[in-house]
Amino acid sequence: MKVLVTGASGQLGRDVVLLLKKEGHSVLACTRDQMDITDQSKVNDVIVSFGPEVVIHCAAYTAVDAAETDMDGAYRVNAVGTRNVAVASEKVGAKLIYISTDYVFDGASVTPYQEYDNTNPQSVYGKSKRAGELLVQTLSSRWFIVRTSWVYGLYGNNFVKTMLKLGQEKPKLQVVHDQKGSPTYTVDLAKFLLDLMADEKYGIYHASNIGSCTWYEFTQAIFEEAQAIAGLSIQAKLEPCTTEQFPRPAPRPRNSVMDHLSIRTNGFLDLRPWREGLKSFLISKCKDE
């Protein structure tokens, strides 16, 4: 298939492009330099000239805290940019896969969020991503919205890499223990996106590695697996703390665990458990180094 990927230099985009090429698809990997999604005429030119059958829209403004003081920037990319991609994709009759986030929910639920639950984003980032969802649903006739959470991979900066670095440098580390979610390895998410694009079971999907943990529990697992797999010397003493002890400009969902109702009811293969994904990441990271 002919597939165009936006945000191709990001941590998810890079793994999506690598997997697509490995599977023999014809890929146009678009970075910001090649196609600024906020420039409507440029987006039209690139998408219409390539004529993709599928557009996987990974490009996003993801600086959660910066968005609180840069509302226009966040909406320019996540809403206006997504509109531009949706309109151009519709012109060429392409399926559109939009990558969204757990931040569209307020985190107040005591149970995992299902795809059809009401959204209630609390941060500028979450609101701008929800705006993107609405534009996709309004402007595209063949759309998938894929909400994911706690994403990490080999490329770019992420929580796992930060914790590995700090664990080797700091004598003590405090990590939040009252926010719960599901870590998601980019390679596993990319595989799911390839399954999705081959089908016509359009709609909203929640896709993360199976299971849940707090950031503190995730860090515990990172340290345990890094020591077992890579023989890393972790010196930091890990301590749990509360959200209030670690104030950030943008509010974080306390519970961002998502139920994979659409994956089950549409007969797709679910992502593997999060700890298995973490092990695979660490093995790949060792080989990469």
Which residues are annotated as catalytic?
125
Query: Torsions phi, psi of 50, nearest 5?
Result: -80, -35
231 token code pair: 């023989």
**Across-strand partners of 241?**
176
Select from 64, 69, 101 the least CA-distant residue to 82: 101
283 token code pair: 């093995």
> Quick check: 59 and 77 in contact, CB under 8 A?
yes
For 109, the 3-state DSSP assignment is: coil
Q: How far apart are CA 11 and CA 155, in angstroms?
A: 5
97 token code pair: 């896969």
- DSSP 8-state assignment for residue 104: G
